[in-house]
Structure 1
């Protein structure tokens, strides 16, 4: 259910930006994507590195979920220990983040 909320919120932000500034839309979409990635696999992506993926989340019917899964797959394959920051490549864009330490808040 939470994932569905992220998808709806992000889709609304991407497609209906007449009431907000472009910077606000980008921040909200990045935050939604970051939260979705964290919920999916526990990886805390740096929001500032997700901007390059925002156009990809609106492509196709499952763009948001596809990008979430791709980031998680890349993060898992990076082979870093919890707490270590890693940069992974997703659809040609670099995304930085890390798996949190046990008990650490996102």
Structure 2
């Protein structure tokens, strides 16, 4: 069953999942005309890849620790770390610990 997207002015919790990470799926929280917000959930040892995005995006590590690969460069993201990427960037993630991240995508490419 798909989780419903948030409605305008609806409060949504993005608190850490803690022990619920392994049983929680990644899911879109909001999808609007120009914006999409997704909670990415990665149990320890799991990986995820994202192909090129047409617009800019941010990735906020809410909990855990992940390896972030982009353009031949690898960085570690820990809880509280935020990064921004420009349009056309694809990336890979690998969880060292149970992790959840908040992906915010701008669906309108920069001009």
**Structure 2 length normalisation: TM-score?**
0.27
**Structure 1 length normalisation: TM-score?**
0.27
Q: Which structure is higher in helix share?
A: 1
Q: Which has the higher contact order (CA 8 A, sep 6+)?
A: 2
